[in-house]
Chains A and B, each alone.
Chain A
């Protein structure tokens, strides 16, 4: 990880804090589509059926260091901003082939039938709505370095 990328901001999700209110989905769809439609949210909360903490998991864009969606795009509609690290889709360039949807390990981009283009998290230009409105602070903006530490602790048990 380079110095520049380790200081870039990413969104992390802490399943121990999530209450499953799905407010992040509400505000995301409201910000980007002007309506409350959870299926149009760029962040998605999954329920694994367990009880207690850890029952929820968020699917949100990690703005990868080497994004596979960018390399998969045949029309160069996806671009990674080297300075901020955000991966964004240019809807005017997108031809709707859905390669990014299939190749993303988390299936973060999804195909918007109305726009006939793939859409994904754009980090709300630095102040993500989902993070702002997450009352239990399960979604947080941290640096990539901190995110790596947190995810190692959460998913691999490394402290």
Chain B
């Protein structure tokens, strides 16, 4: 079995789900998958290839925790990646289909604060028993890569198209001076605001900054 075969297998088996599979280099396959579909993806892999579970690794990137389940199929390392938002920090356990993941899931749970739903044991494994429950040694503060002083401005910029909030006083002053109420920037018209926001989405700045479009604010504020 080659890396391309594994990619085809997962893409075919999960055609209705959003899965990004790629052969990143020789003997390495990367699969980006949503947390809800993770179990299904692993089940397909288990049934078809009988892989060996290597380990689970976790990376805290501030806004989300990325979980990577590594499997070995005929010396090819298949990595299933999923991002867990820190607001929920919950994911279904894989121990019922991959029993060998039991200890490493506990370790990730203790060090990063991810709760694995349905895990058979949840007591401390690597940390002392009297360790404070809210303290997670490898967890970073819940924040994006924006400096604190820029957060307010970025929030305004992405939601309204203006870096600064235009106070009523200024709009009055502009009217008195015979100018249009708002300056001719993105926030002046709905159409240009949409275009501006589309540009932000395409560059991926919203994801890096941790902006929630539904709530029109940063996730960690």
Q: Is the CB of B99 within 8 A of A137?
A: no
Nearest A residue (CB) for B100:
A135
CB of A119 to closest CB in B, whole Å: 22
In angstroms, Cα B201 to Cα A126, docked, is 55
A137: chain B residues within 8 A (beta carbon): 50, 52
CB of A127 to closest CB in B, whole Å: 10
Q: Is the CB of A134 within 8 A of B100?
A: yes
Does B53 make an interface contact (CB < 8 A)?
yes
Does A110 make an interface contact (CB < 8 A)?
no
Binary flags per residue of A12-47, CB closer than 8 Å to B gives 1, else 0: 000000010001001100100000000000000000
In angstroms, Cα B100 to Cα A27, docked, is 9
Q: Is the CB of A133 within 8 A of B102?
A: yes
Does B196 make an interface contact (CB < 8 A)?
no
Q: Is the CB of B52 within 8 A of A133?
A: no
In angstroms, Cα B100 to Cα A19, docked, is 14
Binary flags per residue of A120-159, CB closer than 8 Å to B gives 1, else 0: 0000000000001111110000000000000000000000
Interface residues of B in 64-123 (CB under 8 A from A): 98-100, 102-103
In angstroms, Cα B103 to Cα A27, docked, is 9
In angstroms, Cα B200 to Cα A59, docked, is 61
A134: chain B residues within 8 A (beta carbon): 100
Looking at chain B's contact residues, the main secondary structure is: mixed
Interface size of B in residues (CB-CB distance below 8 Å) = 9
Q: Is the CB of B103 within 8 A of A26?
A: yes
In angstroms, Cα B98 to Cα A134, docked, is 10
B99: chain A residues within 8 A (beta carbon): 132-133
Q: Is the CB of B100 within 8 A of A23?
A: yes
Interface residues of B in 45-61 (CB under 8 A from A): 50, 52-54
B54: chain A residues within 8 A (beta carbon): 135
Interface residues of A in 84-127 (CB under 8 A from B): none
In angstroms, Cα B102 to Cα A133, docked, is 8
A27: chain B residues within 8 A (beta carbon): 102-103
Using a CB–CB cutoff of 8 Å, the interface residues on chain B facing chain A are 50, 52-54, 98-100, 102-103
A23-B100, A135-B98, A137-B52 provided; 14 other pairs, C-beta below 8 A? Answer: A26-B103, A27-B102, A27-B103, A30-B103, A132-B99, A133-B99, A133-B100, A133-B102, A135-B52, A135-B53, A135-B54, A135-B100, A136-B52, A137-B50
